[in-house]
C-alpha cells in the first residue's frame, strides 16, 4: 500500500527539494546539492531507456524525467519505507528480487553511501542488467553523516571508478557536481538545518527564511565570483555500462545493508 499524496503546499515544497526552481533558495536548505545533482543527472537521463530500475527510489522524484518504457521503483523492505515511499517493489537488502538480465538501465541516486558491502551490491546490479545495460550512479563526496546509523562511506572519484571496474563495469563518464565555493555555503546550511530543527513547522520555516535563505543567496553570488575547484565538490555522478556479451554474474552471498 503506497503512501497517500501530500497536501498541495507540501507537494510543492517537496518538488523544490529535488527539482529546485526559482523559489528553491528560499525553501530548500540543500539547494546547492540538489541543484548540482539535478544538472548532472539531466545530462544522462536520455540514456535510461527501455526497462529501468530505480534502486532506493524514495518518492520517485525523477521518474517524470526518465524516458523508460517500464519504470520500476525499488526500496529496501522496512516499515518506514512501506509507510513513507511509493515503491513498486521491495527487497531484503541482500538480493534484488528480479531474474538475471531483467533491465536495460539502473538508476541509483544517493543510496550507495548507505551500502555496507558495496562490491556485493554492485554485483547484484550487474546481475539484473542486460549486456550493454547502463548504470547511472550518484553518491556524496563532501557531506555530513545522515540517516544514522546507516551511513557507511564517502567516495572519491578515483575510489568510485575502481569499485565499479572491479565489479565488471566500464565507466563511460564521470562528473563532479558543485565543484566550487558553493560547497562551503551548502555545508553551512547543512549545519544550520540540523541545529535549528524543532517540532514546530512554523519555526522551521522561519529558520529557513531568516538563516538559510540568505546563505543560499550569498553562496550564489560568491560562487559566481570565485573560481572553481575540481578537487572539492559535493557529489559524484557516474555513468557506467555492463559490457556487451558479459556472462551472468553469480548471486552475491554477503548482505549489503542499504
Say what the pLDDT of residue 84 is: 77
Say what the pLDDT of residue 246 is: 64
Say what the pLDDT of residue 8 is: 78
List the chain domain ranges: 8-241
**pTM reported for the whole predicted model:** 0.90
What tens digit of pLDDT does each residue of 24-33 get? Answer: 999 999 999 9
Q: From 211, 143, 210, select the one nearest 183 (Cα to Cα).
A: 143
Q: Which CATH architecture has domain 8-241?
A: 3-Layer(aba) Sandwich (3.40)
Say what the pLDDT of residue 254 is: 37
From CA 129, how far away is CA 134, in angstroms rounded? 8
CA dihedral 105, 108, 112, 113 (to 10 degrees): 160
pLDDT by 10-residue block (mean), the chain, 258 residues = 63 87 95 96 96 94 95 90 85 93 97 95 98 98 94 96 97 97 98 96 95 98 96 98 74 44
Place of cell 531483467: 102
Say what the pLDDT of residue 86 is: 78
Is the C-alpha dihedral spanning 194, 196, 201, 207 positive or negative? negative
DSSP code of residue 23:
T
Say what the pLDDT of residue 248 is: 56
Amino acid at each position: 500500500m503506497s503512501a497517500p499524496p501530500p497536501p498541495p503546499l507540501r507537494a510543492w515544497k517537496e518538488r523544490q527539494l529535488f527539482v529546485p526552481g526559482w523559489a528553491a533558495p528560499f525553501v530548500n536548505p540543500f539547494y546547492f546539492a540538489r541543484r548540482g545533482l539535478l544538472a548532472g543527472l539531466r545530462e544522462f537521463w536520455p540514456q535510461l531507456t527501455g526497462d529501468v530500475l530505480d534502486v532506493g527510489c524514495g518518492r520517485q522524484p525523477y521518474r517524470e524525467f526518465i524516458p523508460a518504457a517500464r519504470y520500476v521503483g525499488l526500496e529496501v523492505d522496512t516499515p518506514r519505507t512501506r509507510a513513507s515511499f511509493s515503491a513498486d517493489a521491495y527487497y531484503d537488502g541482500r538480493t534484488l528480487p528480479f531474474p538475471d538480465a531483467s533491465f536495460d538501465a539502473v538508476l541509483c541516486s544517493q543510496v550507495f553511501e548507505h551500502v555496507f558491502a558495496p562490491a556485493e551490491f554492485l554485483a547484484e546490479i550487474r546481475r539484473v542488467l542486460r549486456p550493454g545495460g547502463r548504470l547511472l550512479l550518484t553518491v556524496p563526496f563532501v557531506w555530513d553523516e545522515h540517516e544514522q546509523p546507516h551511513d557507511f562511506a564517502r567516495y572519491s572519484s578515483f575510489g568510485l571508478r575502481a569499485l565499479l571496474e572491479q565489479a565488471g563495469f566500464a565507466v563511460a563518464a564521470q562528473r563532479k557536481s558543485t565543484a566550487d565555493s558553493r560547497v562551503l555555503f551548502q555545508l553551512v546550511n547543512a549545519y544550520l538545518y540540523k541545529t535549528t530543527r524543532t517540532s514546530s513547522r512554523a519555526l522551521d520555516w522561519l529558520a529557513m527564511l531568516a538563516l538559510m535563505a540568505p546563505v543560499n543567496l550569498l553562496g550564489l553570488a560568491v560562487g559566481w565570483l570565485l573560481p572553481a575547484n575540481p578537487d572539492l565538490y559535493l557529489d559524484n555522478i557516474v555513468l557506467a555500462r555492463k559490457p556487451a556479451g558479459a556472462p551472468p554474474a553469480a548471486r552475491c552471498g554477503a548482505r549489503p545493508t542499504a
